[in-house]
Chain A
Amino acid sequence: MASAPKAPVRKPDAPFYFNTSEHLLRIGRYKANNLSELLRAMQACPEDCIFQHTFRTLQEHHFIRQGFSNDFAHWSLSSCNEPELAERLAGVDVRDFTALEGIRHRMIEIIRDFVAAHPESGSRPAHEPFYFCASDIVLLPTPYAPDTLQGFLDGLQHVSVHSIHHHFIEARLRLKRMSNDFSVWLEEDVGLNEAANDIERIDIYTNTMEGVRLKIGRIVAHAVS
């Protein structure tokens, strides 16, 4: 039986403005030499440190398909030799949160539970200290502001991976909702709800950012074909 023909895709109500963000790394005041110090510093450090070591570090390592999640997990393994803690911290998905405080609390909870269960781990010196950093962010426009889906696909192909990260991952903190700029635009301005949902379900931890770009392109191209 032939499937029902697709409804024609409507012209977007508004253009999609591809922006990008650039970051300058600032060295923070906090430093941890063991897990107890990490815990204390995580409670006291500014929010932009939490952003740097979770959201931003994903962007810096966008080319790694597996094995890198956030700096706290990486340090727990490489400098503290605590694979269980590292696994649990790596399991924190930044896309489950729309505010940095949520991530901070989740990370603190995991480390506190681990140190409580393994008291000797708290004061064991790490091989290398953890240096808290933060980012100063500058938002930049790009030449791409398409008002058609074909234009969107074209822009998607040409912008940097930083732009993809900006719209797909960091957007949660801006939107304060469990979505991303691409999905919001496709849903609200184009009416492609299914494509919007499919994009939201792309796994950033098993894909590189180039892989994410390809998948978004495929989903949108499929929706309009």
Chain B
Amino acid sequence: MDAEDQRAPSAGTTSASGSGHDRRATPAVYVPERRLADRRIGRNLPASVLTPPAPPPPPHLDDYASIVGRAQIDALRFLAHELRGKSIKMVNSTALGGGVAEMLNRLVPLLSELQVPAHWDVITGGNDFFEVTKAFHNALHGSAYELTQAAKDIFLMYTEQNRQRMHFDEELVVIHDPQPVGLVLSRGKTRASWVWRCHIDLSNPDRKVWDFLRPFVEQYDAAIFSSQSFARQLSIPQYLFYPCIDPLSEKNRELSDAEIQQVCDDFAIDRSRPIVTQVSRFDRLKDPVGVVKAYKLAKKYVDCQLVLAGGGASDDPEGAAVLQEVRDEAGEDPDIIILDLPPWCALQINALQRASTIIVQKSLKEGFGLTVTEALWKGKPTIAGAVGGIPNQIIHKLTGVLVHSVEGCAFQIRYLLTHPEFARTIGANGREHVKENFLMTTNVKRWLLLFRLLEQAKARMPKAA
């Protein structure tokens, strides 16, 4: 009996794989509490996947020098020098979870290391407040919403409570997103410049909600958006800060080949054959079913495996429904590997992206699309839908390829798999594009530049008598 024969059958399978007749009936799906469901191996999942790993210590500024170059770190230190002794307050609505908190977790220590102390405060509120702000969030994204006086009153009441609780002694106050936008009512009592950092797409907001929030926004000194297309016409200056990734995080750090191989072994992915991967939660707007269709069209001409790695199916009824749709579309194809991963699997996602030959992000609607940024950073030829902030990252045929349909996606999979030189070139360009524009160090630089410009503007203003 060889090693393969000794493997235990996995959940959802009827027998160990090996010969054609006893292959499992559905593509591989990993759900955390189960054993790995896979056609070839059936061992227990590694402990690192089942439980959240301890967070690594945050990196220091000098750790980035080998990635972005010493000159860039010098520039940051020089920019910060003039700001020494001045401080920043960042305010958002949650300390845990979500892209904003993740970004602040890295940004705040780096600014402090540059001797520009940054304080991070979080607003508080009851369930009623966060229900209202969630509704505002959706309405600003364009969903239908009937704004009521009661909702306005709840928003204003908690805004007032937070204003009473918070102090704004810093030189720069940065308010993130709509939930705490009303804190600007405190600006009269402060010496600070006030900036509103909007992480969401305001291109098509519900008119009533925007009309309610806009008077707050226009009391700031500046607003910051993640894409030109997300902005509104405002009476205040608007800046463009692209979202960023941290090249030293578990999701993006360099991995050894052994680490990549381990993850591929765990998920039964064959690295000797081309791997096409989409990483995103099971959400119709990410079009995972369209990706399966594109793979099937491409597979008529080129050999490849498809990995769909995401999450959200276990805690979201719609995610579970989408996962089922994906499984139905995948049918019995053993080369489609569907992984429903828990949110702490950053290392595994990193390895899957690095093991991939091509990465796809065939979104139908998108925010900025940080999974695209991650793919580009890993030097992978990337195919993505031309929506949201993706065209900021993918310059068609230069840093990746943009597609608008299943057929277009299928063609580009075929083309990239059969033109490796072109694939290598756009992959290398994509990595440079991220290095120049979408890394944490660039984000730190933008904050320092903005802080300096606002301080200079303040110094030019006539002093009150």
Write out the residue numbers on chain B whose beta carbons fall within 8 Å of the beta carbon of A159: 71
Contact B75 A20 (CB under 8 A): yes
Chain A residues 119-145 with CB under 8 Å of chain B are 127-129, 131, 133, 136, 138, 140-143
The CA of A78 and the CA of B452, in the complex, are separated in Å by 36
The CA of A25 and the CA of B437, in the complex, are separated in Å by 11
* Among candidates A26, A129, A140, A162, residue contacting B79 with C-beta atoms closer than 8 Å: A140
A114 contacts the other chain (Cβ, under 8 Å)? no
**A side interface size, CB within 8 A:** 33
* Among candidates A27, A60, A136, residue contacting B449 with C-beta atoms closer than 8 Å: A136
Contact A160 B78 (CB under 8 A): no
0 or 1 for each of B406-443: is its CB under 8 Å from A? (1 = yes) = 00000000000000000000000100110011000000
Nearest chain A CB to B429's CB is how many angstroms away? 6
* Among candidates A22, A26, A127, A128, residue contacting B240 with C-beta atoms closer than 8 Å: A26
Q: Among the listed stretches B92-100, B115-123, B228-236, B336-344, which one makes contact with chain A, having 4 or more residues with CB under 8 Å of it?
A: B228-236
A158 contacts the other chain (Cβ, under 8 Å)? yes
The CA of A9 and the CA of B69, in the complex, are separated in Å by 32
| Residue of B228, B433, B445 with highest tally of chain A CB at under 10 A | B228
The CA of A158 and the CA of B72, in the complex, are separated in Å by 10
Write out the residue numbers on chain A whose beta carbons fall within 8 Å of the beta carbon of B433: 61, 63
The CA of A159 and the CA of B71, in the complex, are separated in Å by 6
Nearest chain B CB to A63's CB is how many angstroms away? 4
Look across to chain B and name the residue whose beta carbon is closest to the beta carbon of A132.
B228
Nearest chain B CB to A61's CB is how many angstroms away? 7
B166 contacts the other chain (Cβ, under 8 Å)? no
The CA of A62 and the CA of B228, in the complex, are separated in Å by 21
Write out the residue numbers on chain A whose beta carbons fall within 8 Å of the beta carbon of B228: 27, 131, 133
Q: Please list the residues of chain A having a beta carbon within 8 angstroms of any beta carbon in chain B.
A: 20, 22-27, 29, 60-64, 67-68, 74, 78, 127-129, 131, 133, 136, 138, 140-143, 158-160, 162-163
Q: For the A-B complex with A61-B395, A140-B78, A159-B71 known, give 18 more contacts whose Cβ atoms are closer than 8 Å.
A: A22-B449, A24-B453, A26-B239, A27-B238, A27-B240, A60-B436, A64-B399, A68-B395, A68-B398, A78-B396, A128-B229, A131-B228, A133-B240, A136-B453, A138-B79, A140-B79, A142-B71, A160-B71
Could you jot down 17 A-B contacts, CB within 8 Å? A20-B71, A22-B79, A24-B239, A24-B450, A60-B437, A61-B395, A61-B433, A63-B433, A67-B397, A131-B228, A138-B452, A140-B79, A141-B78, A142-B75, A159-B71, A160-B69, A160-B75
- Report the 10 A-B pairs with minimum CB-CB distance, sorted nearest first: A63-B432, A131-B228, A160-B71, A25-B240, A27-B238, A24-B449, A27-B231, A140-B78, A27-B228, A27-B240
